[in-house]
Amino acid sequence: MNYRHAFHAGGFADVIKHIVLVRILVYLQDKPAAFRFIDTHAGAGVYDLTSDEARRGGEWLTGIARLMQARLSEKTLPLVAPYLDIVRAFNPQPELHAYPGSPLIARALLRPQDRLTACEVEPQARKRLIEALRRDTQARVVDLDGWMALRAFVPPNERRGLVLIDPPYERKDEFDRLADGFAQAFAKWPTGSYLLWYPVKSRRATDGLARHVATVAGTGTPAAKCLRLEFSVAPQVTGDGLTSAGLLMVNPPWTLAGELRSILPELEKPLGQGGAGRFRLETPKP
């Protein structure tokens, strides 16, 4: 699996991931104390939806484009609106031309006291991210491997915050690296919030990852907990592109599960391909 951001920007997986990201950051805003957002595999920051990469897959057409046109209920719309407002800010014209990645979405939600650390080692992506955040005193782009960053940057000085771990899954052992990297970070910062993204290609691999993360979280503070979300837009067929993706949320806001139970059913129809999508939301067992 090769999940390069430029090819999949604005697809269903980004939509789900970024809605969850925004809900967590909005919750962190509720307290005046500063927080830190750490993005271990940050990407380029902003993606051109008219580029060859975006056009090749066209995933944004069945992702963010559909959601922007969807009619959401009075209960769900306020929960999704902060995310949609950020996307609209990058698209002042009615047509969608750009999609913000995780660091730019998070930057839009930082208060003056909050900080962003974005790690990216690919030279071109890092250059574009630096340009997107140029002269921003609240954001720092670091030329450091994301797995090393997990050990280096936690716990942050703020002692509150969120770590997003969203690797490209270019190596066969990426699930093992994710499990080990999270365990090392959690051992240093068990009170932090973590958001782990993964593609669903092998049920054995994803179930194993969920059990590992739940086990590690269970050894932390008594309040530590874990949520697992998977969203599928179509049945998985060998050789086809990504049709199902997951998130593991450690120490999520206490409000998040209820919010997702309101949001996710209303995303099944607009994001589904050849029929309605489906989701599962559960507390994984060690």
What pLDDT, in 10s, does the model give residues 111-140?
Answer: 999 999 999 999 999 999 999 998 899 999
- Residue ranges per structural domain of the chain: 5-282
Task: Return the structure tokens found at 188.
Answer: 């240093």
| 166 tagged catalytic | yes
The active-site residue out of 14, 39, 114, 166 is 166
Averages of pLDDT over runs of 10 residues in the chain (286 residues) are 68 97 98 98 93 82 96 97 98 93 98 97 94 94 93 95 93 91 95 96 92 89 84 79 94 96 97 89 90
CATH architecture, domain 5-282: 3-Layer(aba) Sandwich (3.40)
CA 51 to chain centre: 22
**Which tens digits make up the pLDDT trace of 30-41?**
999 999 999 999
